[in-house]
Structure 1
Amino acid sequence: MLTVLALAMITAFIVLLSAKKLSVFTALTLIPFVFGIVAVAVMGSNILELAGWIQEGIFFKLNTETGKISWGVISPAITILFSILYFDIMLGVGLFDPVAEFFIKKAKGDPLKVLLSTVMVSSVVAFNGDTTTTIIICISAFISLYKQMNLKLSYLAVTIVAPIGIWNMLPWGGPTIASATAQGIEINELFRELLPGLLAAQAAVILLAMRLGFKERRRLGYTGKKNADVSEEHIQKMLNAIREKDPDLKRPGLFIFNLVLTLAALALLIQGEIHGSIIFMMSSAIALIVNYRKADLCSGRLEDLAADVLPTAIVTMGAGVFSGVLTGSGMAAALADSIAAMIPTSLSSHMAPVYSIIAAPAICFLPQDAFYFGIASVMKDVMGSFGITPLQAAVASMAGQSFRLVSPVIPALYMLCGETKLNFVEFQKEYMKNYGWIIILIYLAVFGLTGALPY
């Protein structure tokens, strides 16, 4: 009965979320609450047990036999809140602007340099973890240049998107937050395991952009001898896409300070000795007072950034209700046992890479939260029955992110396709041909070599 209830709850969650009948927060809280009441009735338990399951999912659970505490979502939620706040502050002060401007100036009229500049600017801007912002800035900066030089707009689209799919997996990115929360692990633990794969994928994306650049050189007959320089007017137009975004917030004179502060925060996060929430809370406070000084300006920035900061943190807290009910009621264990019993024993030793491959289309076509909270949270127990830890299961699911940025459920991609004159299926094919399959193979290889993904 618990298996049927678990399947019904997850199905209801995915269907209602995909159909946009409920917001992510209401789906994560109300659906498990209703099914929790049913579970209590079926089990003949006290209704107060439901509140206990939710409390454990949000805060912590104490094992009375071992004395071990299993944290709920409160830990990642606070880290998420302050990490998003910090990087929104850094984006506003213009920390990433000089790097983006450098590559734009270097592009000139060489198709190879233009493609490389596109991938590097997209990589830098994507560090703030926001897909829509990255696409808007990169399209504004490069589309007129591509048109002037007769470069393929399809290459612009896929070259912008490829780095976003990688750097969305930073600790403050949505996929990493959702995966860590669903698996009940610390974000910085997961990021340490992901980092080698992300760096390898970034190197591959640069090389693949270089390959497209060479192809465009051949197609356009570029030799470097003819005058293919871009006019100063076009360069300034591209630079203005970066410079004119919230100019009142820029603090170019504090670039070195902000860079050192950011590198120090990332180093401490990767080291793992200090909780991520403390690192980004203190870094945010320091960044605000140094960059904006006056109390009213600091308060104004906090109010302006609340719309970016609060929704993800609130959704993460809501995930505690979902995971608390699913786990506390026994539904997760029952469903995991049923799934594990159906898996052929011949596949048991290869479940991690198999899960990665299966996760790729699921991540592509389902809303992200529906996958991580509705499917990955149960697969954690399935993987556990084959000796795969929650951390390794999280890494396996994250490899599927190589196809996330061709998902039909990401609205910003339709804007990208409209600007580059592609229909959505053409865009998907172009990305998969030039980037998608190569990136997932790199993830599987690197995670396997580092031991993050057991084979």
Structure 2
Amino acid sequence: MLTFLALAMILTFIILLSKKKLSVFTALTLVPLFYGLIAVTLNGGTVIELFDWITQGIFFKQNLETGKVSWGVISPGITILFSILYFDLMLNVGLFDPIAEFFIKKAKGDPLKVTLSTVMVASVVALNGDTTTTIIICLAAFLNLYKQLKLKLSYLAIIIVGPIGIWNQLPWGGPTIACSTAMGVELNELFAALLPGLLVAQVVVIVVAGYLGMKERKRLGYKAGDDGEVSEESIQQMLSAIREKDPELKRPKLYAFNLILTLGAIFILIKGYVHGSVVFMLASAIALVINYRSVKECNERLEALASDVLPTALATLGAGVFSGVLSGSGMAASLANTIANIIPTSLGSHMAPIYALIAAPAICFLPQDAFYFGIASVIKDVMGQFGITPIQAAVASMAGQSFRLISPVIPALYLLCGETEQNFVGFQKEYTKYFWVVLVTYMIVFGITGAIPY
């Protein structure tokens, strides 16, 4: 019965999100509440017992035999809140602007330089973890240039989203947050395991962008040294896409300070010296006071960024209800045991790479939270029965991010397709044609580092 309830709860959650009948926060909260009430009724328990499961999912639970305390979602939830706040502040003050401007100036009229500049600008802007912002800025900076040079707009689209799929996996990115919360692993530990794969994937994406630039050189008959440079006026128009985005918020004179503060925060986070929530809480407070001196300006920034910060933080806390009911009721263990009994013993030790390959299409076509909270959180327990650690299971889940940025459930991609004059299916095919290599890269690198056991 518990297995049936678990499946029903997960499917209801996925369907309601996919059909957009509930928001992420309300689905994570109300669906498990409904099925939790059924579970305690069937078990002859009380509503107080259900509230205990939810409390443990949000805050912590203690093993009475070993005394070990397992944190709920409150730990990553606070980290998420302040990390998003911090990097939104850094985007506002213009921390990433000089690097983006440098690559735009280098592009000139050479198709190879243009594609390489595109991928580098997209990589820099994507560090803030926001897909929509990255797409808007890169389109504003490069769309007219591609049209002027008669470069393929389909290449512009896939070059923009290639780095986004990689750098969305930073500790303040939505996928990493969802995976960390659903799988019950610390953000900094998950990121440390992902980092080697992300760095190599970035190199691969640059190589692919270079290959596309060489193809365009050949198609257009361009030769290095030709007098085909873009006018200074056109370059200034591209730079304005960076410079004119909220100019009143930028703080160029404080660039060195903001850079040092950011590098220091990231270093401390990766090293694990201090909990991520403390790192970004303090860094956010320092960044606010130094960059926006008056109380009025600080309050205005906090109010303006609340729309970015709150939805993800609320969804993370709502996930505590989902995970608390799923685990506390015994549904998760029952479902995991059922699945484990079906899997042949000979395949059990190879579950991680098999699951990583399956995760790619799954995370492409399912809402992100539906995948991580509805599927990955259960598969983690199944893999645990074959000796695969939660971190390894989490990394296997993240490998599917290589195809996340062609998902039909990401609204910003329709803007991208419209501006680059192509239909969505054509965009998916073009991306898959060139960037399948990112998934292969993850599988190889994570296999070498042991992040995905083979």
Task: Answer yes or no: is 1:405 the counterpart of 2:393.
Answer: no
Whole-Å separation in 2 of the counterparts to 1:389 and 1:27: 28
Task: Answer yes or no: is 1:261 the counterpart of 2:261.
Answer: yes
Match of 2:162?
162
Matches within 5 A, 1:242-281: 242-281=242-281
Shift of 1:120: 0.3
Whole-Å separation in 2 of the counterparts to 1:133 and 1:301: 17
User: C-alpha deviations, 1:369-410, integer Å up to 9, x for none?
Assistant: 000001011111011011111111000000010000000000
User: C-alpha deviations, 1:225-263, integer Å up to 9, x for none?
Assistant: 321110111101100000000000000011111000000
Matches within 5 A, 1:260-339: 260-339=260-339
SS of match in other structure, 1:286:
helix
Match of 2:149?
149
Match of 1:82?
82
Q: Give the gaps of 5 or more residues in structure 2.
A: none
SS of match in other structure, 1:197:
helix
Whole-Å separation in 2 of the counterparts to 1:328 and 1:375: 17
SS of match in other structure, 1:70:
strand
Shift of 1:346: 2.3
Shift of 1:141: 0.4
Whole-Å separation in 2 of the counterparts to 1:224 and 1:444: 36
Shift of 1:167: 0.3
SS of match in other structure, 1:98:
helix
Match of 2:132?
132
Amino acid of the structure 2 residue aligned with 1:385 = Q
Amino acid of the structure 1 residue aligned with 2:415 = M
Shift of 1:438: 0.3
Amino acid of the structure 2 residue aligned with 1:416 = L
Whole-Å separation in 1 of the counterparts to 2:34 and 2:349: 37
SS of match in other structure, 2:422:
coil
Match of 2:117?
117
Q: How many residues align?
A: 454
Matches within 5 A, 1:210-229: 210-229=210-229
Match of 1:376?
376
Shift of 1:193: 0.3
Contact 2:399–2:439 (Cα < 8 Å) also in 1 = yes
Amino acid of the structure 2 residue aligned with 1:108 = K
Whole-Å separation in 2 of the counterparts to 1:349 and 1:69: 28
Match of 2:8?
8
Shift of 1:355: 0.6
Whole-Å separation in 1 of the counterparts to 2:326 and 2:408: 28
Contact 2:359–2:400 (Cα < 8 Å) also in 1 = yes
Amino acid of the structure 2 residue aligned with 1:449 = I
Shift of 1:445: 0.6
Match of 1:389?
389
Amino acid of the structure 2 residue aligned with 1:348 = G
Percent of aligned pairs sharing the same letter: 72
Amino acid of the structure 2 residue aligned with 1:453 = I
SS of match in other structure, 1:61:
strand
Contact 2:361–2:403 (Cα < 8 Å) also in 1 = yes
Shift of 1:65: 1.0
Shift of 1:47: 1.7
Match of 1:30?
30
Task: Answer yes or no: is 1:55 the counterpart of 2:55.
Answer: yes
SS of match in other structure, 1:452:
coil
Match of 1:448?
447
Amino acid of the structure 2 residue aligned with 1:227 = D
Whole-Å separation in 2 of the counterparts to 1:223 and 1:47: 74
Amino acid of the structure 1 residue aligned with 2:194 = L
Matches within 5 A, 1:201-240: 201-240=201-240
Shift of 1:44: 1.0
SS of match in other structure, 1:28:
helix
Contact 2:103–2:120 (Cα < 8 Å) also in 1 = yes
User: C-alpha deviations, 1:150-209, integer Å up to 9, x for none?
Assistant: 000010000000000000000000000000000111101100000000000001000110
Match of 1:188?
188
Task: Answer yes or no: is 1:97 the counterpart of 2:97.
Answer: yes
SS of match in other structure, 1:245:
coil
Whole-Å separation in 1 of the counterparts to 2:135 and 2:47: 48
Whole-Å separation in 2 of the counterparts to 1:103 and 1:238: 11
Whole-Å separation in 2 of the counterparts to 1:48 and 1:265: 41
Whole-Å separation in 2 of the counterparts to 1:11 and 1:142: 42
Shift of 1:348: 1.2
Shift of 1:137: 0.3
Match of 2:358?
358
TM-score by length of 1: 0.99
SS of match in other structure, 2:70:
strand
Whole-Å separation in 1 of the counterparts to 2:322 and 2:430: 37
Amino acid of the structure 1 residue aligned with 2:114 = V
Whole-Å separation in 1 of the counterparts to 2:308 and 2:314: 11
Whole-Å separation in 2 of the counterparts to 1:454 and 1:109: 46
Shift of 1:342: 1.0
Whole-Å separation in 2 of the counterparts to 1:317 and 1:168: 20
Q: Which moved more, 1:215-224 or 1:310-319?
A: 215-224
Task: Answer yes or no: is 1:438 the counterpart of 2:427.
Answer: no
Amino acid of the structure 2 residue aligned with 1:288 = L
Q: Which moved more, 1:337-346 or 1:113-122?
A: 337-346
Aligned Cα RMSD in Å?
A: 0.6
SS of match in other structure, 1:201:
helix
TM-score by length of 2: 0.99
Moved over 2 A (4+): none
User: C-alpha deviations, 1:274-316, integer Å up to 9, x for none?
Assistant: 1000000000011111111111111111111111111100000
Contact 2:348–2:383 (Cα < 8 Å) also in 1 = no
SS of match in other structure, 2:61:
strand
Whole-Å separation in 2 of the counterparts to 1:108 and 1:116: 11
